[in-house]
Amino acid sequence: MKFVCEKSDIVKEISIAQEIISSRNSLSILSNVYLEAGNNRLVIKATDLKVSFGTSIPVEIVKPGRTTIFCDKFLGILRALPEGEIEFELSDNMMLFIRPKFKKIEFQLKTIPSDKYPEIQKISDDLFFEFPQSDFLEMISKTIFAVSNDETRYFMNGPYLEKIDDRLIMVATDGRRLSLVNKPMKDYEENIKGIIIPVKILSLVKKLSSGEGNLKMAISDKNIFFNLGEVQLSSSLIEGQFPNYNRVIPEESEYLIIVKKDDFVNALTRVSVLAEQKSRKVVFSLSGNVLTVDSEETEIGEAKEEIECKYEGPDTAIAVNYIYVLDPLREMDCEQLSIGFTEESKALTIKSLPEKDYLHIVMPMQV
């Protein structure tokens, strides 16, 4: 195998490959990236057995061939080389020579034969359906922060995706908060049975998508596939029973707080400076049309700020983890928002005003 390509072209793709590869497999073939040169293209693949990445870039082929090489060191070498064309040549003794064309520099890296590389899952092209990139990226951004990090509750370690009638729905929860977003999906007639998607693959989709046009998606019994033009991504799904999220969403709220989003975010950000770092607790106190946000850090100090709101109900105080409120607010594009509740000890429902396709549920803490 021998080929020549621009440094900038290959570095970009090998950087993504390195993100896929598990660092725990430092001496196994799973730490290697797959390279195949042919038809004036270099095919690049990487996998950790759960998430897989594949792409191709234009190169000048001198001799076709394929191999696998330790990705971490390969990327380090590429980044250290000067800009311009680089020549890659595989010798018979399974050594890859790496040489810039206009500098007397040479690196040698041992390789592992490509026939030992694990097979990457594939799916028929006719099973893919299309969905607007911008909508899917928005769905990821508005839910991914609410995913649970508790590995014992693995069925909440990724957002849940399903299609009911003409809406595509994505939900994430960690048991203390829940985010739900839905988008129209009329061109694809079939419903999608609920699946749980790992965060890693969604983060890659978000990073590698341009936000323009459509992405292609396909779902099998145990895997999900994304096609982003030259880039193909796939991942095994999380097996398990996702909680019935409809039971968590209150049917209605007896009381409603209406507040300007920016005023609320700024007040919460300032007051949270003196919130206890472990509990992250802040208290919302309501009296008439005044919302008071306050926090206290034992033995250090306290903070309090009043903002105007619209509220008709009894004086009350509600304690929350401020992170659970700020996370969704950063993703909401609105001037005003509503916070609905029935009792101070029951779930808060946060929505945009006017109401859009997104809601966030927060369970309160003890005052």
Q: How far is CA 32 from the centre of its chain?
A: 24
Q: What is the pLDDT of residues 185-226, one digit of tens each?
A: 877 767 788 999 999 999 999 999 999 999 999 999 999 999
Gap between the Cα atoms of 25 and 31, Å rounded: 6
Residue 1 has pLDDT above 70, yes or no: yes
Last residue of a domain, one of 52, 83, 116: 116
What is the model's pLDDT at position 147?
97
Tell me which residue range forms the domain holding 7.
2-116
Share of the chain above pLDDT 90, in %: 88
Same domain flag for 269 and 350: yes
Band (pLDDT 50/70/90 cuts) for residue 24 is low
Residue 117 has pLDDT above 80, yes or no: yes
* Structural domain contains residue 367: no
Gap between the Cα atoms of 43 and 35, Å rounded: 6
Same domain flag for 220 and 256: no
Q: Supply the CATH number for residue 338's domain.
A: 3.10.150.10
Beta bridge partners of 39: none
Residue 181 has pLDDT above 60, yes or no: yes
Same domain flag for 131 and 163: yes
Same domain flag for 134 and 107: no
What separation in angstroms does the CA of 283 have from each of 3, 268, 341, 343?
Answer: 63, 10, 15, 14
What is the model's pLDDT at position 192?
87
Q: What is the pLDDT of residues 54-75, one digit of tens each?
A: 999 999 999 999 999 999 999 9
Q: Mean pLDDT over residues 335-357, rounded?
A: 94
Asked if residue 132 has a cis previous peptide bond (ω within 30° of 0), the answer is no
Q: Mean pLDDT over residues 220-233, rounded?
A: 94
Q: Mean pLDDT over residues 151-177, rounded?
A: 95
Name the most confidently modeled range: 22-26, 185-189, 241-245, 297-301.
241-245
Gap between the Cα atoms of 149 and 158, Å rounded: 9
Residue 367 has pLDDT above 80, yes or no: no
Same domain flag for 138 and 193: yes
Gap between the Cα atoms of 158 and 151, Å rounded: 11
Domain count, the chain: 3
Q: What is the pLDDT of residues 30-59, one digit of tens each?
A: 999 999 999 999 999 999 999 999 999 999
* Structural domain contains residue 344: yes
Same domain flag for 220 and 313: no
Q: Mean pLDDT over residues 335-359, rounded?
A: 94
For helices 7-20 and 71-80, the axis angle rounded to 10 degrees is: 150
Gap between the Cα atoms of 54 and 16, Å rounded: 10
What is the model's pLDDT at position 297?
85
What is the model's pLDDT at position 38?
95
* Structural domain contains residue 51: yes
* DSSP states of 116-169: GSPPPP---GGG-EEEEHHHHHHHHHTTGGG----GGGGGGSS-EEEEETTEEE
CA angle, 257 then 258 then 261, to 5°: 120
**Burial of 307 per CB tally in 10 Å (0-12, 13-18, 19+):** middle
What is the model's pLDDT at position 188?
74
Residue 344, token pair as written in the block = 């101070």
Phi then psi for 215, rounded to 5 degrees? -105, 155
E strand or H helix that includes residue 358: strand 358-362
Same domain flag for 271 and 234: no
Q: What is the pLDDT of residues 122-163, one digit of tens each?
A: 999 999 999 999 999 999 999 999 999 999 999 999 999 999
**Pairing state of beta strands 301-308 and 310-311?**
unpaired
pTM to 2 decimal places = 0.92
Last residue of a domain, one of 116, 134, 156: 116
Gap between the Cα atoms of 146 and 327, Å rounded: 8
Same domain flag for 241 and 131: yes
Residue 255 has pLDDT above 70, yes or no: yes
Same domain flag for 43 and 8: yes
Residue 298 has pLDDT above 60, yes or no: yes
The residue to which tokens 């009638």 are assigned: 165
How much is the mean pLDDT over the chain? 94
* Structural domain contains residue 228: yes
Band (pLDDT 50/70/90 cuts) for residue 93 is confident
Gap between the Cα atoms of 133 and 306, Å rounded: 40
Asked if residue 354 has a cis previous peptide bond (ω within 30° of 0), the answer is yes
Band (pLDDT 50/70/90 cuts) for residue 25 is low
Same domain flag for 166 and 105: no
Last residue of a domain, one of 227, 245, 263: 245
What is the model's pLDDT at position 23?
60
Same domain flag for 231 and 256: no
Q: Mean pLDDT over residues 104-133, rounded?
A: 93
What is the model's pLDDT at position 189?
67
Gap between the Cα atoms of 14 and 77, Å rounded: 11
DSSP state of 238: B
Q: Mean pLDDT over residues 269-293, rounded?
A: 95
